[in-house]
Amino acid sequence: MTKARGMGWRAGYLLAAFALFMADQVTKAWAVRALNTGIAFGQLQGGSDFTRWLLVGLACAAVVAVLIYFFRNQRTDDRVLGACALLLAGITGNLVDRIRLGRVVDFILLHAGDYHWPTFNLADAAICTGAFLLALDLFLEGRRARQKVVVSKSA
């Protein structure tokens, strides 16, 4: 694949990440207006200013790390680029909340029987999905590498 085409794919994924980021921000704005102050906010919300800015710093570092991986990785398949786009959208969505509001707006409640998942938002879902896709990719690529070693030894 040519470098220009690879950058085109990356630009498309960045556009998708931006659209997901905007959807996250719009749904959080709706939740704050519609659910008023009684909505549940997620973990690590009651910390000090130090905790807030430490989490901002960690999120900024994570965004930089994902961007470096996104642009330096030679692969252009959906699993890797999609995972990076999901991570970028989610991390940035929660980062903006933490900078602007001092907390992350979580409003999605799910439960199965008596089990209740922690309250979350679209950004959290994007981060979890992106992390899962990267973990899956590591697993599958490791398995392919092991199979290549076995095939080359037997040949």
Widest Cα–Cα separation across the chain? 67
Among candidate residues 49, 78, 114, 124, the one labeled active-site is 124
Is 97 a known active-site residue? Answer: no
Among candidate residues 24, 106, 114, 137, the one labeled active-site is 106
pLDDT band for position 4 (cuts 50, 70, 90)? low
pLDDT in tens, 75-107: 888 899 999 999 999 999 999 999 999 989 999
| Eight-class DSSP state of 4 | H
pLDDT in tens, 58-69: 999 999 999 999
Domain parsing of the chain, residue ranges:
3-109+116-154
Is 137 a known active-site residue? Answer: no
